[in-house]
Amino acid sequence: MRTLRVPAAVGANPTVFGLVALYVTGLVLLDARPSQTRISRALPAREHDALNRLLRTVPLSTRALLAGALGLAAGLSRALGTRGYLVVDDVVIEKPFAKRLPWAAWTYSFAKKRKVYGCHIVLLSWTSDPTGRWRLPVAFRLWRPKRTCRPERYQKKTALVVAMLHELVAAGCPAAYLVGDTAYTGGCISKAAARLGRVWVGTLSPRTTVVYRGRRQAVRDLAGRLKLKWRSHLNGRAGALRVYAPALGQVRLVVLRNEHGNFEYLVTNALATDLSTLVERKRSRWRIETIFRDTKQLAGLAACQCWVDQALVRHVALVFLTFVVLQLLRRDPQETVGAVKARWQGEVLRDGQAPPQPLRTAPPEFRRKRTA
């Protein structure tokens, strides 16, 4: 069974380690609204004040918490013989009543198709393979809107990703490539990945300007004149070519037209990448969406009720740590984290007792006979 090493900054203090273990256990066992009060009621080892202090005042580094997940990724990479890959994306956590929370603001939610009041979490996750056997959050940042900070301290989401990418490369995170959607393609992210010697995969906006055979044009205009071949394994028509993008340099471009007639423009800085490989790498980005779904439904990502900055950041780190723990508790790599959570809840309810014998049906002589 894989193990998660406890960082020295956490394991050196038994009190902090105990509070972290209690908080993670509460997130595993509770379903709805796993707040500090409800955790202390279900697990009366410590009062809720101690859990509040853990989130607000106890010396604790969120990066040290996720350092264990980074070490686990390195161990899995050696054991599985694969480098895995990194996925970048952000998620909106709704906070409709958190008017005093500096991280919250009005923003558009693609899931709800409307504007919501909440905060953005930018996440970098490591995935072992396209099947998503292991999905490990290794770095995250909370994005602060302009109205809540001084102009000189404001950072775009892309700048936060660049900072996290430098940290992961310095820590030796294994990754064959970095994949993101249109918002995280181009600009400083692609340039930083190229400087660090990393392969990146992304999606271009239809309005992006490219140069092909000496002609400067939008990528959607170029796609309309290409002769795409039918690819049965992709269930659509596709074509690959090399173009120059002023914001990206020389890139490998794949134009994909799916069964609905919609165009997708996939790019990478690895110019020798095969067409099918590039499409597969871009589709592997979906694994981070399953992390957001599972952490919201199973680990209480939106359950923090504190309006203090540090409390929200630490709660998010502990949620991602809980998600890693749920994967470590699997009996089979194919077991879902939801099944793991249900199994552990059942074990706690039974408290070591054997389940009752299944009921037997009534013997034939006691069965009611049907009358015509």
- Write out pLDDT tens, residues 278-301: 999 999 999 999 999 999 999 999
Whether 231 is covered by a domain: the verdict is no
pTM of the model: 0.89
Residue with tokens 């609204």: 33
233: helix, coil or strand? coil
pLDDT classification of 7: cutoffs 50, 70, 90:
low
In a domain, 178, yes or no: yes
Written in H, E and C, the secondary structure of 181-219 is CHHHCCHHHHHHHHHCCCCEEEECCCCCEEEECCEEEEH
Instruction: Provide the pLDDT for residue 11.
Output: 61
Does residue 335 carry a pLDDT above 70?
yes
Q: Mind listing the pLDDT tens digit for each residue in 116-153? A: 898 999 999 999 988 888 999 999 999 988 887 888 88
- Is the four-CA dihedral 296, 300, 304, 305 of positive or negative sign? positive
104 vs 275 pLDDT, higher one: 275
| CB-CB contact of 28 with 355 (8 Å) | no
Task: Judge whether 216 lies within some domain.
Answer: no
Contact between 286 and 116 under an 8 Å Cβ cutoff? The reply is: no
pLDDT of 359 reads 64
The overall average pLDDT reported for the chain is 88
Confidence of residue 305 (pLDDT cuts 50, 70, 90): confident
| pLDDT (0 to 100) of residue 12 | 66
**Amino acid letter for position 15:** T
Q: Report which of 208, 184, 7 is spatially closest to residue 87, judged by C-alpha positions.
A: 184
Q: Look up residue 184 and give its amino acid.
A: Y
For residues 317 and 123, is the Cβ–Cβ distance under 8 A? no
DSSP symbol at 229: E
If one counts every other C-beta atom within 10 angstroms of the C-beta of residue 344, the result is 15
Which H or E element spans position 64? helix 62-80
Alpha-carbon distances, residue 281 vs 177, 181, 185, 285 (angstroms): 8, 12, 14, 7
Write the CB contacts of 329 (distance below 8 Å, at least 6 apart in sequence). Answer: 340, 344
pLDDT attached to residue 1: 45
Hey, what are 181's tokens?
């959607």
**Is there a domain that residue 239 lies in?**
no
Q: pLDDT (tens digit, 9 = 90+) per residue, 77-119?
A: 998 888 999 999 999 998 888 888 888 888 888 888 889 898 9
SS3 258: coil
Domain count of the fold of the chain: 1
User: Do the domain assignments include residue 266?
Assistant: no
Classified as helix, coil or strand, 269 is coil
Domain range spanning residue 34? Answer: 8-199+273-349
Q: Burial code of 83-118, b = ≥16 C-beta within 10 A, e = fewer?
A: bbbbbbbbbbbbbeebeebbbbbebeeeeeeeebbb
Residue 356 maps to a domain: no
Residue 107 lies in a domain: yes
Strand 263-268, strand 249-257: pairing:
antiparallel
Q: Tell me: the pLDDT tens digits for 46-86? A: 888 999 899 988 888 888 888 889 989 999 999 888 899 99
Q: Is residue 299 domain-resident?
A: yes
Query: What average pLDDT does this structure show over 333-340?
Result: 90
SS3 102: coil
Where b means 16+ CB within 10 Å and e means fewer, 44-61 reads eebeeebbbbbbeebebe
